[in-house]
Amino acid sequence: MHKIPVTVITGFLGSGKTTLIRHLLQNPEGRRIAVIVNEFGEIGIDGELLQDCQICEEAGSPTAPAPILELANGCLCCTVQEEFLPTMETLLQRREDLDCIVIETSGLALPKPLVQAFRWPTLRTGATVDGVITVVDCQGLASGHWVGDLAALEAQRQADESLDHDTPIEELFEDQLACADLVLLTKVDQVSDSERAQVERWLRQELPAGIQVIPCQQGQIAAEVLLGFGAGVEDQIDQRPSHHDHEADHDHEAFDSLHLTLPPVSEPDALIAQLRQLTKTECLYRVKGFVAVTAKPMRMVLQGVGSRLETYYDRPWRTDELRQTRLVLIGQHLDRERIQAQLQPLPMG
């Protein structure tokens, strides 16, 4: 039996991983693709967005459409044995119906423990990690929103290399870069040419030699670019260093995930304004979810990184689903009662 190739899509919160995979499923170029989505939160926003992709069914054969399997409310790198292995074993039972598997990790996940799981006997004979794709938000990096000011950071390191400037977020980011076979730079249309050049120069200094950085807008990258690396990453993962190589465990105690359910809103702009205000008073990294707007038959998708919030309507509400607003907030030291109190003045439908 052939080994099924597995592509791991990693990247920080809001970098564009789901948009990338959605485009891949809509343009599979004849490939039968299964997807595993891992989210850090109580509800699976990304998995639902992919399931609602109307062309996803065409990625599989007529008798065996490509499945989208979801591992929610936990970091995949921490639950490899309990959740990921059984999911992969299920997929391997139907590998003759699949050409490849794509795994979208949580933005808080380390890619290396996941890749190491492919050394397990139950997986080693049936699957191989074809490549690791790291998605990077160019606009966020240019503004220094996640890793600090690029010029200042470089000046500090040159002044005293022994200084420890790492934060938990920065360590995650650097580990994702260190494991990459390819880096996709998203949101390049939202920065100036000089800002983009600065980000690319910095990335190439951080990346291992030979790792390419490719610009990507709205996830529009051909399947042949993302798939078919043939890297066998699990066999040389020890050559990809991680901040957590010598730690017994990796946890996310520094991160909180808060799930909010609200009634339909009559003025979505008011909700967006309130969420932007929350980014000023709360340590809030990521917002995503679905918004029920009273006068609209369509469901609104809301995605945000820091104070940058984007919305669009993706599909009509189904007759069998409850029309309500569901949000996932990811950050540090999030207080449910305080946040709900700030959202209470919203005009509801």
Give residue 252's pLDDT band: very low, low, confident or very high (50, 70, 90): very low
Tell me the pLDDT of the chain averaged across its residues. Answer: 77
Question: DSSP state, 40?
Answer: S
Higher pLDDT, 155 or 259: 259
Provide mean pLDDT across the span 25-54. Answer: 66
Residues 172, 134 contacting (CB under 8 angstroms): no
Look at the block and give the residue holding tokens 């002044």. Answer: 159
Phi, psi (rounded to 5 degrees) for 207: -85, 150
Strands 127-137 and 325-332: unpaired
Nearest-5° Cα angle at 12, 9 to 14: 95
Q: What is the number of residues in the chain?
A: 349
**Interstrand relation of 100-104 and 4-11 (parallel, antiparallel or unpaired):** parallel
Q: What six digits make up the tokens of 303?
A: 């995605």
Q: 95 near 123, Cβ under 8 Å?
A: no
Question: What pLDDT, on the 0 to 100 scale, is given for residue 79?
Answer: 47
Please give the pLDDT value at position 227. 92
Buried b (16+ CB within 10 A) or exposed e, 228-262: ebebebbeebeebebbbeeeeebebeebbbbebeb
Q: Report pLDDT for 195.
A: 93
Assess whether pLDDT exceeds 70 at residue 207. Answer: yes
**What is the predicted pLDDT for the residue at 168?**
63
Q: What does the pLDDT average to over 291-307?
A: 86
Alpha helices in 183-285 (DSSP H): 193-206, 223-226, 268-281
Return the pLDDT at 77. Answer: 46
Cβ neighbours for 306, distance < 8 A, ≥ 6 positions apart: 140, 145, 279, 284, 285
* Structure confidence at residue 83 (pLDDT): 64
Distance CA 349, CA 70 (A): 31
What token pair was written down for 127?
């699957």
Structural domains of the chain, ranges and CATH numbers in brackets: 4-239 (3.40.50.300), 256-343 (3.30.1220.10)
User: Tokens representing 239?
Assistant: 């050559």
Q: On the CB side of 310, how many CA atoms lie within 13 Å of its CA?
A: 10
Q: Tell me the per-residue pLDDT of 126-157, one tens digit each, with 9 for 90 and over.
A: 999 999 999 998 988 888 765 434 454 455 54
pLDDT, greater one: 325 or 13: 325
CA pair distance 105, 98, nearest whole angstrom: 20
What does the alpha-carbon distance between residue 257 and residue 247 come to, in Å, rounded to a whole number?
Answer: 24
* pTM, 2 dp: 0.64
Q: Convert 65-76 to b/e letters by CB count within 10 Å (16 or more is b).
A: ebbbbbbbbbbb
- pLDDT tens readout for residues 306-329: 677 888 898 899 898 899 998 888
Token readout for 277 is 């205000």
Residue 330 has pLDDT above 50, yes or no: yes
